[in-house]
Amino acid sequence: MRGFDDVTLVPLGGRGPEDVLVDGQGRVYAGLDDGRIVRAAGTGAPVETVAQVPGRPLGLEFLGEDELLVCASQAGLLAVSLATQHVRILTDEVDGRSLRAVNNAAVAGDGSIFFTDSSQRYPIPRWRADIV
């Protein structure tokens, strides 16, 4: 069994990264529980805030070359421009029902977006209530 001897911990200056992405340049993106999306270029490099989103960023995916697709718990499915930090809502409801716990997404080759909403009743901060 392999150990974790070759793993490097990169402090992100926040808590709770749920998902990470790595771009073509080897930079790591993560969403933090305070709504920030940060990018780290590696050990010793500064951690940059690339966006501030409403809600809790959970799932992250690339949406084209210069945008991130962000599942922002109660805020919905968002697109974030990496060039301008502009945040736009792609959807915050489906069939007239508000999204409460947008959790993860995938972008198909044709540009279609598939995503999950983990609860129809409770937002992410109340996840225990959904279990009960």
Domains identified in the chain, total number: 1
C-alpha distances in angstroms, 59 versus 2, 18, 76, 119?
28, 7, 11, 15
pLDDT at position 30 is: 94
Task: Indicate the pTM of the whole model.
Answer: 0.82
The structure tokens 């960023």 sit at 57
The structure tokens 């771009």 sit at 23
| CATH number of the domain where residue 95 is located | 2.120.10.30
The structure tokens 């989103």 sit at 53
Answer whether 121's CB lies under 8 Å from 100's CB: yes
pLDDT at position 127 is: 56
The residue type found at 94 is V
What pLDDT digit, counting tens, does each position of 64-80 carry? 889 999 999 878 999 99
- Cα R_g (the chain), whole angstroms: 15
The gap from C-alpha 99 to its chain's centroid, in whole angstroms, comes to 15
pLDDT at position 68 is: 96
Distance (Å, whole) CA 109 – CA 87: 23
Does residue 11 lie in a domain region?
no
Does residue 1 lie in a domain region?
no
Does residue 14 lie in a domain region?
no
Does residue 52 lie in a domain region?
yes
> Is 27 a residue whose pLDDT tops 80?
yes
Alpha helices in the chain (DSSP H): 127-131
Distance (Å, whole) CA 132 – CA 109: 38
Which domain does 51 fall in, by range?
20-131
